[in-house]
Chain A
Amino acid sequence: MRPLTLRRLLWTCGSLVAVLLVLIVLVLRLGPAPISVTELVMNLGRMAIGRINQLPADDQLIVFGIRLPRILLGVMVGASLSVAGASFQALLRNPLADPYVLGVSSGSATGALIAMMVAPQFALATPLAAFLGAVLTITGVYFLGLRDGNLDSTTLLLGGIISASFLSSVIMFLLTLSPRDLRGMPFWLMGDLSTPPVSELQWIFLVGLIVGIGAIYTTAADLNLLLTGEREAAHLGVEVTRVKLVVYVAASLLTALAVSASGAIGYIGLLVPHAMRFLFGSDYRILIPTSALGGAIAIVAADALARTVAAPTELPVGAVTAIAGAPIFIYLLRRRMR
Chain B
Amino acid sequence: MSVSDANATLAARDAAAPPAELPRLAVEQASYAYAHQRRSAPMFTLGATSFQARQREVVAILGPNASGKSTLMQVISGALKPLSGRVLLDGVEIRSLGTRTRAQRIALVEQQSPLVFPATVGDYVLQGRHAYGRALHLATEEDVGLAMNALAQVGAEHLADRRMDQISGGEKQRVILARALAQQPLLLLLDEPTLHLDIGAQVDLLERLRRLCEENRQTVIVVTHELGLAAEFADQVVLLHAGKCLRVGTAAEVYQRELLEQVFGAAMDVEIGPAGRPRVSLRSRASGEPRRTM
Contact = CB atoms under 8 A, between A and B. Distances in A.
Interface of A: 1-6, 9, 89, 93-95, 218, 220-222, 224-225, 227-229, 231-232, 234-239, 277, 282-283, 285
Interface of B: 77, 79, 99-100, 102-104, 106-108, 110, 113, 115-120, 122-123, 126-128, 130-131, 133, 135-139, 143-144, 147-148, 160-161, 183
A95 B137 CA distance: 24
A3 B131 contact: no
Contacts of B119: 224, 282-283
B78 to A, nearest CB: 9
Nearest to A217: B136
Given A3-B126, A237-B102, A93 B116 contact: yes
Question: Closest 7 interchain pairs by CB?
Answer: A237-B131, A237-B103, A1-B122, A221-B137, A282-B117, A3-B139, A1-B160
Contact of A234 (B99, B117, B148): B99
A225 B138 contact: no
A3 B144 contact: yes
B128 A236 contact: yes
20 contacts: A1-B147, A1-B160, A3-B122, A4-B123, A5-B138, A6-B138, A9-B138, A221-B130, A221-B136, A222-B130, A227-B117, A229-B113, A231-B79, A235-B103, A236-B127, A237-B103, A237-B104, A239-B100, A277-B117, A282-B119
Given A1-B126, A2-B161, 12 more contacts: A3-B126, A93-B116, A94-B116, A225-B130, A227-B115, A227-B117, A232-B113, A235-B103, A238-B99, A239-B100, A282-B119, A285-B137
Contact of B138 (A218, A231, A285): A285
A222 B135 CA distance: 10
Given A3-B123, A221-B133, A237-B131, A227 B116 contact: yes
Contacts of A229: 113
A35 to B, nearest CB: 41
Given A1-B147, A237-B99, A224 B79 contact: no
Contacts of A2: 120, 122, 161
Max chain B Cβ within 10 angstroms of own Cβ: one of A5, A224, A236, A277: A236
Nearest to A229: B113
Contacts of A225: 127, 130
Nearest to B128: A236
A220 B127 CA distance: 12
Contacts of B115: 227-228
B148 A1 contact: yes
B130 A238 contact: yes
Contacts of B144: 1, 3
A1 B1 CA distance: 14
Contact of A228 (B107, B126, B127): B127
Contacts, number: 87
Contacts of A224: 119, 127
A101 to B, nearest CB: 16
B289 to A, nearest CB: 45
A11 B120 CA distance: 21
A285 B136 contact: yes
Contacts of B183: 236
Nearest to B131: A237
Contacts of B136: 220-221, 285
Nearest to B104: A237
Contact of A235 (B108, B113, B133): B108
A6 B117 CA distance: 22
Nearest to B189: A235
Contact of A282 (B104, B118, B138): B118
Contacts of B143: 3
Contacts of B160: 1
Nearest to B185: A235
Contact of A239 (B99, B133, B161): B99
Contacts of B139: 3-4
B72 to A, nearest CB: 16
A319 to B, nearest CB: 29
A93 B114 CA distance: 11
Nearest to A149: B36
A6 B139 CA distance: 10
Max chain B Cβ within 10 angstroms of own Cβ: one of A220, A232, A235: A235
A57 to B, nearest CB: 46
A155 to B, nearest CB: 17
Max chain A Cβ within 10 angstroms of own Cβ: one of B123, B139, B143: B123
A3 B127 CA distance: 11
B117 A3 contact: no
A224 B160 CA distance: 18
B235 to A, nearest CB: 24
Given A1-B147, A94-B116, A239-B99, A232 B131 contact: no
A228 B113 contact: yes
B123 A283 contact: yes
Nearest to A3: B139
A237 B122 CA distance: 18
B161 to A, nearest CB: 7
A311 to B, nearest CB: 40
A112 B122 CA distance: 46
Contacts of A236: 103, 127-128, 130-131, 183
Contacts of A228: 113, 115, 127
A260 B8 CA distance: 57
B107 A235 contact: yes
A2 B119 CA distance: 12
Given A1-B148, A95-B116, A237 B138 contact: no
Contacts of A1: 120, 122, 126, 144, 147-148, 160-161
Nearest to A282: B117
A222 B133 CA distance: 11
